[in-house]
Each structure stands twice: as C-alpha cells, then as structure tokens.
A = this chain, B = another copy of it.
Amino acid sequence: MDTHSKLHMTTDEFRNQGYKVIDWIADYYEHIEDYPVLSRVQPGDIRAALPASAPQKGKPYQDILADMDKMMPGITHWQSPNFHAFFPCATSGPAILGDLISTGLGIQGMIWATSPACTEVETHVLDWLIDMLDLPEKFKSTTTGGGVLQDTASSSSLVALIAARERASNGDTNKNGSNGHLTAYTSHQSHSSIEKAVKIAGMGKNNLRIINTDETFAMRTDLLRSQIEQDIQDGLTPAFVCATVGTTSSTALDPLEAIGKICKEFDIWLHVDAAMAGPAALCPEYRFIHEGIEYADSYTFNPHKWMLTNFDCSVFYVADRKMLIDSLSILPEYLKTKETETGAVFDYRDWGIPLGRRFRALKLWHVINYYGVEGLQEYMRGHVANTQQLKMWIEEDDRFEVMAPVPLNLICFRHKNGDEFNERLLNELNASGQIYLTHTKLNDQYVIRLSVGQATTTLAHLKRSWELIVNTAEGLNKG
C-alpha cells in the first residue's frame, strides 16, 4: 500500500474496499444457512469458470471481489451451524479481526528480533492457556518447557516425534540418519498424521506399532506393554508413544495415566494428541479427559478446531524445550543476533519446521480477551449439553443405535438397517444441502459421525437435523 500510487492500492482505496470486504463477510454469515452445506460442484467446474490465463493488465478491486461469485458454488460451508462433518473448525468475529491485524502488520517472527511482540505474545498466551486448561506447570516457559503455535496437529506431532527420535538415539539420527531400530506406538484409532509423521521422520511405518483398543476404542495398555517388551527383547529401541485424547473416529480417550506409567518405566517419550477435545478442559467438569497428563513430554490441541480461533492455530507444549530446540535448531550467520547468541530470548524458528512465522498468537489473544474464560466455558458447555440431548433422542429411537461412548461433542451412530443403508442415508443427507456429515468404521461397521462445534450451532439446529435424519431414513425405507 502507498499513500498515493498508480501501481499499488492507496490507503484510501484500501479503506473503501476494506469496508466492502468486511460487509461481504458479514453478509455471508447472515445468509450462511441459505447455501447447501456441502458444495455440489463436480470436479473441474470451478476451474472451468476461471480465465485460462492470468490477466496482462490489472483489474479494479471491485471486479475481483465480484469474482468471488464464481468461487462460492465451490465452497463447503464449514462455518454453517449445520456443518457436522469431520471435526469443527470454528471461527469467530474476534478471531477474524485478530488475524486481519496480523495480516495487515505483515511482520515475520522467525526470531525474536524480527518482532519481539510476535514471540512474546505467543509465549505469554500459551502460558495463560496452561492455567486455563489446568495443564502441568512443566509446560510453562517459566520452567524447563514452553509452548509454541504450529499450523496443525500434524506438525505438532511431527516435531514431537523428531525430538523423541533424537532423545532415543542420543542425537545420532540427526547426525548419521540411522534410525531403523527405533520404534513408535499408537492405537489403531489414532490420527493418520502419526503414521505420516513416522514416515516423514524416516523411521519407517513398519516400526510403528499399532496397538489394539478396548470396547471404548481406547488404547489397551496391556498390549502396549507387551509390544514394548517384545521390541526390547528383539533389540529395538522404543522411542515414542502417541496417546490420543478424543480420537478422530469417535472421541475415544486413551488412558493417559496407565500409558504414562509405562512410558516412564521404559523411558519413552509420551506425546498426547488432544487436537479437538483439549479445550474442553477449560471447564473443570471435563478435565477428566486429561487425567494422567503429568506424564506427557509433549501435548497438542488446536484452538482452530473447537476454540473459536480460525485455522491455522495448533498449540504445542513441550516439557523439555532444550530437547526440542536441539533437534531442530540451525544458526546460519545471517540469522545471528546478540539476543539469540546470549540465549536471552526464544527464537521460535527452532521450535518447528518452517523458518518464517506469522503473528498467529494475535487471533488467539483476541479470542481469549473477547470471550474471557467464562465465555469460552459457556460455549463449550452449550455444545456438550446439546450433543448429549441429541444422543438421548437417538437412543430413544429404536431404529437407530449409538455406536461409541459420547464423552463430549461427537456422536457415532447408525441406522439398524446395515452398512449399505447407512452409506445411502449419509449420501442422501449430504445431497440435501441441509447438513454435512461424514462417516467412519468402528468394529468394521459403517458408522455416521455427527460432530458439534461450530460457533452458532444451537439445540434448535440439532433438533431439525435429527428430524431430517429420521425422515430421510424413512424415505429410503419406503423408496
């Protein structure tokens, strides 16, 4: 931007067009329920609506904004109160405005000196969150640990694995790359990003042990222990266990305390992935999900899922920050500063994969300040209560069955007519445009997942959705 310019947008033009974009977003939210939740376009439709090549001459900004009409049919409306697919990706007004300020400032916080506020607000807010969620003190920056924002839990789990790999190999993998003897452990209900991380880190998926689960889909610790013992007997080195608080399929809760004791006994890094469920611990009554968390070496949850902060924003804590930094640090001449060399500051480039970093903490700062702890608690409690009400309606209808425990805000259920019927039911519901649901498989059965978490989902929405589900199933039965 420039104050007066032929090439760049002037600040006056930015004001005028910026107001219009703000209005465009507000209008979108006012009419969000008018769109089909799941986009109906076919592969290639959106590309076909766009010019084949880039314009030689620039276009007035209002034409670019108008071009959004060509893209909107290709949008799946994650912020719709009727979006119940996957996990929520809830945003909010303060989050959007906080991120806008970050974008406007356009700073890059790779090291402390390149914008001290970017580093310090991040450290500060992540320390706040430890108290807010009643997490262990060892994760605080004021002790041996610390928090950092990653883009996603995939990246959080990857850096945890790298640190674990280096701890188990005494830094030898970073030096010599020989790590075929290291093993990792997670349940068969854990997130796909764990297998992906094991591959990226060069540990080999054959060295990832997939531990079976109990009837609640939680990791069986007897099997974990026997697998570890077997591996040690075979001359391998167990390096990493990932436990999940709220699995993606069914929000199952791995028993952290029992897993933690095993990790402690065998000196294995315990990483806890609470990507979606973590912020439930804002409410004391849901803190049972974190029982045993004091054994964790690292922990991640995503405010961009169920805490009203727009994507991307994944919180990652580590108990021994030195281990993490030693695993990832680089220090070329052009990044040396006196603050870095004296170690007086955090340089977050050494806490994750990318060197460059946005001022991501600003949106989190906005959300926490706007809602306050009590507002966030009210939001969580509302979703859990509404989910439990919906679960009762499903249980009361003997044509349907709930297929997994519902500790928080996700219901796995199915119609009793079998796999094929449930798949048709899901497709029919999604085709209606009135709801978006996804599926999983539990005990080899096709199961419909209904996840509650978007900011504006109310009990009235869930009631209408339940009626839609019942009526659609009836229609299919008749058809």
CB pair B78–A9 under 8 Å, yes or no, is no
Contacts of A438 in B (CB 8 A): 334
CB pair A372–B58 under 8 Å, yes or no, is yes
Stretch touching chain B among A47-55, A214-222, A293-301 = A47-55
- A11 interface neighbour in B26, B155, B355, Cβ under 8 Å: B26
Asked if A370 meets B2 with Cβ closer than 8 Å, knowing A89-B108, A104-B28, the reply is no
CB pair B7–A378 under 8 Å, yes or no, is yes
Measured between alpha carbons, how far is A370 from B6 in the docked complex, in Å? 12
CB pair B204–A173 under 8 Å, yes or no, is yes
A sample of 15 inter-chain contacts (CB < 8 A) reads: A1-B456, A12-B26, A17-B97, A18-B19, A28-B104, A54-B132, A76-B116, A78-B115, A96-B104, A106-B310, A176-B180, A177-B203, A193-B330, A196-B353, A334-B440
Number of copies: 2
Q: Is the interface of A mostly helix, strand, loop or mixed?
A: helix
- A43 interface neighbour in B29, B89, B193, B339, Cβ under 8 Å: B339
Residue of B nearest to A156 (CB): B354
Is A174's beta carbon under 8 Å from chain B?
Answer: yes
CB pair A113–B39 under 8 Å, yes or no, is yes
Is A379's beta carbon under 8 Å from chain B?
Answer: yes
Is A44's beta carbon under 8 Å from chain B?
Answer: yes
Q: Mark A12-55, 1 if CB is under 8 A from B, else 0.
A: 11110111011111101110000000110101111100100111
Stretch touching chain B among A123-131, A260-268, A395-403 = A123-131
CB pair B58–A114 under 8 Å, yes or no, is no
Contacts of A193 in B (CB 8 A): 330, 355
Measured between alpha carbons, how far is A182 from B200 in the docked complex, in Å? 15
Contact residue range for chain A? Answer: 35 or more
Asked if A15 meets B7 with Cβ closer than 8 Å, knowing A104-B96, A176-B204, A182-B177, the reply is no
Measured between alpha carbons, how far is A117 from B26 in the docked complex, in Å? 20
Contacts of A345 in B (CB 8 A): 43
- A116 interface neighbour in B10, B11, B46, B108, Cβ under 8 Å: B46
Q: Mark A128-158, 1 if CB is under 8 A from B, else 0.
A: 1101100000000000000000011011001
- A371 interface neighbour in B58, B97, B152, B201, Cβ under 8 Å: B58
Contacts of A176 in B (CB 8 A): 180, 204, 206-207
CB pair B46–A121 under 8 Å, yes or no, is yes
Is A223's beta carbon under 8 Å from chain B?
Answer: no
Is A179's beta carbon under 8 Å from chain B?
Answer: yes
Contacts of A117 in B (CB 8 A): 39, 41, 46, 71-75
Is A461's beta carbon under 8 Å from chain B?
Answer: no
CB pair B373–A104 under 8 Å, yes or no, is no
CB pair B29–A25 under 8 Å, yes or no, is no
Known: A19-B22, A56-B374, A158-B353. 12 other contacts (CB 8 A): A17-B97, A25-B100, A39-B116, A46-B121, A55-B372, A76-B113, A106-B310, A151-B151, A173-B199, A176-B180, A200-B328, A353-B353
Measured between alpha carbons, how far is A355 from B59 in the docked complex, in Å? 34
